[in-house]
């Protein structure tokens, strides 16, 4: 029991930053991201021992996180909230450019459905395979493919994002 608790605390401590970042991509809001990660950790902790035995604990926690987010969104499309205050940025370098990217990406992601957003974050940002994404979302691989295609097509329609990608391609 103690080892179980320690193992989880270590995992949570070590991975919370990465989890929060993925959660921000899902929610577009740091406060919501924090709540989401916290909820996912609370839901995963009691099952930690079993999760550890079964293989990849992080995949499990991400699965809980994404599904919790989808449930939240289904409730009332929280993700629909159009861009609000400019997000805080403390990073050095070209702050203006960085904020531009942040706002553009957040707004573009905001135009996706919760499922499209989840697929995109899992597939592109978390770098999971299509089969893994299908497992996380409990759907067919074909659904992952088609959802991903729709998400990418929709992002292409976003002029600001298209411009940023063109700039990067050069």
Partner 1 sequence: MDGQLRELLEAAVGEPPRKISIETVRRRVARRRAVEYGSGAAAVAIIAGLIPASIGALGHGPATPRMGVQGPVRGPIAYVANAGSGTVTPIRTATNTALPPVKTGHLPQAIAITPDGMTAYVANTRSGTVVPIRTATNTALPPVKTGPGPRAIAITVDGKTAYVVNSRTVTPIRTATNTALPPVNVGPGAYDIAITPDGKTAYVTSQNLSTVTPIRTPTNTALAPVKVGRLPEAIAITPDGKTAYVVNSGTVTPIRTATNTALPPIKTGIEPFAIAITPDGTTAYVVKTASNTVVPIQIATNRPGKPIKVGTDPDAIAITPDGKTAYVVNQYRGTVTPIQTATNTALAPVKVGRLPEAIAITPDGKTAYVVNTGSGTVTPIQTATNTALAPMKVGRDPVAIAITP
DSSP-based three-state secondary structure for 159: helix
98 binds partner 1 (CB under 8 A): yes
Distance CA 17, CA 32 (A): 14
Distance CA 19, CA 41 (A): 10
Conformational region of residue 138, where left means phi above 0, alpha means psi within -120 to 50, and beta covers everything else: left
Binding mask 31-70 for partner 1 (x = CB under 8 A): xxxxx-xxx-xxx-xx------------------------
Within 126-145, the residues that bind partner 1 by CB under 8 A are 127
| Spatial CA neighbour of 41 closest among 72, 80, 7 | 7
Site residues for partner 1 per CB under 8 A: 5, 9, 12-13, 16-17, 20-21, 24-25, 29-35, 37-39, 41-43, 45-46, 71, 74-77, 80-82, 84-85, 87-91, 98, 101-102, 104-106, 120-121, 123-125, 127, 152, 155, 161, 164-165, 168-169
């Amino acid at each position: 029991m103690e080892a179980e608790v320690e193992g989880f605390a270590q995992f949570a401590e070590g991975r919370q930053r990465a989890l929060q970042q993925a959660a921000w991509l899902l929610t577009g809001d740091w406060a919501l991201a924090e709540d989401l990660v916290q909820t996912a950790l609370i839901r995963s902790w009691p099952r930690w021992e079993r999760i550890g035995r079964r293989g990849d604990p992080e995949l499990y926690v991400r699965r809980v996180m994404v599904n919790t987010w989808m449930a939240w969104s289904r409730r009332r499309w929280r993700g629909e909230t159009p861009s609000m205050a400019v997000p805080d940025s403390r990073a050095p370098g070209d702050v203006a450019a960085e904020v531009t990217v942040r706002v553009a990406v957040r707004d573009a992601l905001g135009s996706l459905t919760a499922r499209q957003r989840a697929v995109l974050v899992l597939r592109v940002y978390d770098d999971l395979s299509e089969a893994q994404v299908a497992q996380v979302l409990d759907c067919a691989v074909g659904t992952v493919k088609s959802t991903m295609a729709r998400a990418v097509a929709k992002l292409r329609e976003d002029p600001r994002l298209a411009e940023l990608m063109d700039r990067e391609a050069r």
